[in-house]
A and B are shown apart, each in its own frame.
Chain A
Amino acid sequence: MTSDTKSRTVLPQGVGKFSAKWLMFTAAMVAVLVIGILAYLYEANQGMIVTGMANTGTQGGVTWGLYVVMVEYFIGVSLAGIVLAAFAYVFNVKVLRPISRLAVLLTVGSLMVGVLAVLIDLGKPIRGIINMLLYVRPQSPFFGTFMLVAVGVLLTSLLYLYLDGRRDAAYLAEFDSSLRWYHRLWAAGYSDTQAERERHRRTMFWLSILVVPLVVIALSTEGLVFGIQVGRPGWFGSLQGPDFLVLAAASGLANLIVLTAIVRRVLHDDYVLIGRSVFKWLGGLLLAATAVALYFQVVELFTLLYATPGNERLLADALLRGPYAWIFWLGLVLLGLGLVLLVLQAARREWSVGLLVVASVAISTSAVAERYLTVIPSQTHGMLLPYEPGSYFPTWVEFAVVGGLFALGALLIGLFIKVFPIVPLNGADSDKEVLVDA
């Protein structure tokens, strides 16, 4: 990158330009976040009695409530981004290149929020961090959650995001902007020599190769947390791990599509940076993931309807026509609706961004419902001893905290977009040389 006098101050993609709309969005998210923090402080002071949770069995409650549901959801969402970026890198899928940074950012954001949700769910969060470092046992699935998800995958994704952005950072560092120090720091002396490019290519290749098995193994432990519990109807089974991954892929892609559509709108970008063919790819992948997710659900439903052993019957009744029926059927209908919308678009070979977003929202909502149904009913209706069935409804505190988590995620992504170009710059010394659709 020879310096041909970069005296320009306007950074590409609106970086460093904090528009009124962006400030309003940020203010709104900060407000939601503050409410969430206040709610959590109230809970930390009073104890978790202010949530809707209670002990299983004699107290007829659930001991893992909405927080764990959201942990499962957020960590699930994180799967798709990094895997997609790695896939695009290894196989050199140029079409996906413009959203690769956004994809990794989604992984980083949702993982951070998911891990925070784990801490929020602990009765003693600070002791939780310390004791995990001092005593965590590999026999417990939480070893995987802690070591592989919270540390391994999160660090790998951050590393991926960082290294992948170095070249762009070096380019931006030549602009005379208020963010120059930051871009310089990020670039860390990158000067775009042939040797550096070659090294970077090699690193990214091996990171991409490493990250896929790492993510699959790490995230499977999230399903295993439930799958290895023999004493709880509805949980025990080898399908929990794969089931988690499949729904994770669907919900992650759905979130990525929504995010891509938003970014595209924000950048006033039509066909320039993020081409329409990105949506074709994302739509196709989401279609595949949703189809498999639906297949898994139908297999499960069929097993429930056909042959339900003793204690599972109570659970099956609660799911199919009991207190959880509306969530169960709503989730299934939303998943089906999403699939139908995707199939229609695939058949017509025409992908509309609007329809894709609708399908994505339906599928993502369905994923929340499905996570809810994995975590909650087995506690209220899954006791092996004849306790009376329990019930659970989250309190305002839980809703406020979860709202705060969403806001935190949105803030992370929103802030990033304003300090760094979200679409990778193609030619490092020319921001006009952008990716054009094939």
Chain B
Amino acid sequence: MRRILTLLLIVVGLALMVIGYLSSAPWGATSVADSNPAFVGAPSLFLIGVVTLLLSALVYELLPSRDDDRVE
């Protein structure tokens, strides 16, 4: 449970960072005048990704133990 959640947060965080980065940069913009991200707020996705990634460490440590104590 703990490991799955942590891994999930890491994956989601990284994915959000990639999506946020790619949609912040004007890849495939058709016009030089296009100075906006693919959608307004795309950089926030990157930021949320960074936060999610770091949150995984917190979750890994702080998630209350139930049955996984005996596993480790």
Contact = CB atoms under 8 A, between A and B. Distances in A.
Given A137-B24, A137-B35, A138-B24, A147 B57 contact: no
A199 interface: yes
B54 A189 contact: no
A311 B5 CA distance: 58
A65 B68 CA distance: 56
A159 B52 CA distance: 12
Given A159-B58, A195-B72, A198-B72, A151 B50 contact: yes
Interface in B17-72: 21, 24-26, 35-37, 40-41, 43-44, 46-47, 50-51, 54, 57-58, 60-62, 64-65, 68-69, 72
Contacts of B37: 134-135, 137
A340 to B, nearest CB: 42
A207 interface: yes
B47 A151 contact: yes
B40 A134 contact: yes
Interface in A186-210: 188-189, 193, 195-196, 198-200, 202-203, 206-207
A413 interface: no
A134 to B, nearest CB: 5
Interface residues of A, number: 30
Given A133-B41, A133-B47, A136-B43, A203 B57 contact: yes
A85 to B, nearest CB: 15
Contacts of A138: 21, 24-25
A132 B60 contact: no
B57 A151 contact: no
Contacts of B68: 195
Contacts of A136: 24, 43
Contacts of B65: 193, 195-196
Nearest to A133: B44
Contact residues of A: prevailing secondary structure: helix
B41 A206 contact: no
Given A147-B50, A151-B50, A132 B57 contact: no
Given A134-B43, A163-B57, A189 B62 contact: yes
A97 interface: no
Contacts of B57: 159, 163, 203, 206-207
B60 A203 contact: yes
A403 interface: no
A199 B41 CA distance: 36
Contacts of A163: 57-58, 61
A141 interface: no
A155 B47 CA distance: 11
A139 B25 contact: yes
A183 interface: no
B7 to A, nearest CB: 12
Contacts of A137: 24-26, 35, 37
A280 interface: no
A159 B62 CA distance: 12
A135 B43 contact: yes
A152 B50 contact: yes
Contacts of A207: 57
A132 B57 CA distance: 26
Interface of A: 132-139, 143, 147, 151-152, 155-156, 159, 162-163, 166, 188-189, 193, 195-196, 198-200, 202-203, 206-207
Given A137-B24, A147-B46, A166-B61, 9 more contacts: A135-B36, A137-B37, A147-B47, A151-B47, A163-B58, A189-B64, A193-B65, A193-B69, A202-B60
27 contacts: A132-B43, A133-B43, A134-B43, A134-B44, A135-B36, A135-B43, A136-B24, A137-B35, A137-B37, A138-B24, A143-B24, A143-B43, A147-B50, A151-B47, A151-B50, A156-B54, A163-B57, A166-B61, A189-B62, A195-B65, A195-B68, A195-B69, A196-B61, A196-B65, A198-B72, A199-B72, A206-B57
Those 7 A-B pairs whose CB atoms lie nearest each other, nearest first: A136-B43, A138-B25, A195-B69, A195-B72, A133-B44, A203-B57, A203-B61
